[in-house]
Amino acid sequence: MMGKVLNGLAAAVILIFTGWLPLRAQKAPSTSWDSDIRTSRFNIDPGFRHSYDDILQYSPGVLMLTLKSLGYESRSDWDRMAVSDALSAGIFLVAGNGIKWAVDRTRPDGGHHSFPSGHTGTAFMAATMLHHEYGWRSPWWSVAGYTAATVTSMSRVMNDRHWMSDTFAGAVLGVCSTELGYWITDRIFKGKGLSSAWKPSSFLTEASDNEGFSIQAGYDRRFILADRALKDSGEVPLRGAGASLIAEVPIAGGFGICAEGAAGVLIFNDSSSLNVYGGKAGAFWALGFARMFEFEVQAMLGYAGNKECGGLDCSTAASLNLLTGDNFKLRARAGWESLPATGASCRRLNSILLGYSAAFCW
């Protein structure tokens, strides 16, 4: 009980923090992490406009109801599931709309009420419902739901309807609303309406004992380690930002192997920019403590390149991970990276990376 309460408080702190990000971005939109991610979006495809995310946001919920209707046994019977999902949706709608009107952040395309992303929140809320009802049957149902939710999130950014921090906050709100809805329902129904075959799943034990494969999506702000004169002259970038997808496979004793695919942007003094793409592989070591926390370090080598040059990419990172219930980790991380980035000579850049990520494990 206390662990779940602390997890909920931690998630609330994260949501409050992401609520501060758009307010700061409104004061300095030309130098914010969000604006850098938007620059990267325009470098990829400035004309991207698709409306499939209007439908995709509901797909995890549709999948859950379809499986239930076909007689595939879920965690809850129809009555219990209806109450759980209704409470979750009600909490999400009240909290989400309240925050939207209180913050009233301007959308990237000029609209209103950008924070948090309703599409993203709906998708992650539905994915968490699917995870509760069918994740215990097979983790691939959870993977399907959260994949659809993640694609919805990225589509909102690519469609220029939301800032990246909007989607992160929407995801946190969607997951937390569903967790709270199911927690309340569990207090009301107790053991009534649960499948006799269902078993609760959680890695709220020492984290290093968890032997599951994990996928984490992360976002970082890049701080270039170079003389100010070089930045002002345009020889090296002023700053950067990026997103990454990391897979980890534990081997033994907290040690394991990992691989990363990343995309980012470098911003120069004259407002020009370069997108950077790369892939790396390496090893990690994790140590769990206090049942709900984990300290982790990573070291990786690989390749990074852009339209000007490419070459060896090496990095190290450390993170503090919060185990937020069934199969999730929230991470705050800091790292160092050296990669070739500019000019015919492929001048190497040393950077400090600060960011956060979320991981799904099974």
Query: Mean pLDDT for each consecutive 10-residue tract of the chain (362 residues)?
Result: 47 49 45 79 86 94 95 93 95 93 88 91 95 88 90 92 89 90 92 83 45 79 90 87 90 91 90 90 91 90 89 94 74 92 76 87 72
pLDDT of residue 156: 93
Q: Which domains does the chain have, with CATH numbers?
A: 2-189 (1.20.144), 207-361 (2.40.160.20)
pLDDT of residue 326: 58
Alpha-carbon span 48 to 161, nearest angstrom: 11
pLDDT of residue 288: 85
Beta bridge partners of 302: 280, 313
- The dihedral sign for the CA sequence 175, 181, 183, 189: negative
pLDDT of residue 86: 96
Q: Which amino acid is at 297?
A: V
pLDDT of residue 343: 64
C-alpha distance across the termini of the chain, in Å: 22
Which of 42, 26, 355 is closest to 223 using CA atoms? 355
The shares of helix, strand and coil residues in the chain, as percent rounded to the nearest 5, are 40, 30, 25
Which of 155, 128, 167, 142 is closest to 33 using CA atoms? 167
pLDDT of residue 325: 59
Burial class (CB in 10 A: 0-12, 13-18, 19+), 228: exposed
Which of 262, 353, 360 is closest to 316 using CA atoms? 353
**Which SS3 state, helix, strand or coil, does residue 328 take?**
strand
Q: Which amino acid is at 333?
A: R
pLDDT of residue 45: 83
Listing DSSP states for 298-322 in one string gives EEEEEEEE-SS-EEEEEEEEEEEEE
For residue 105, CA distances in Å to 112, 161, 227 come to 6, 12, 35
Residues 6+ apart with CB under 8 A from 27: none
pLDDT of residue 216: 86
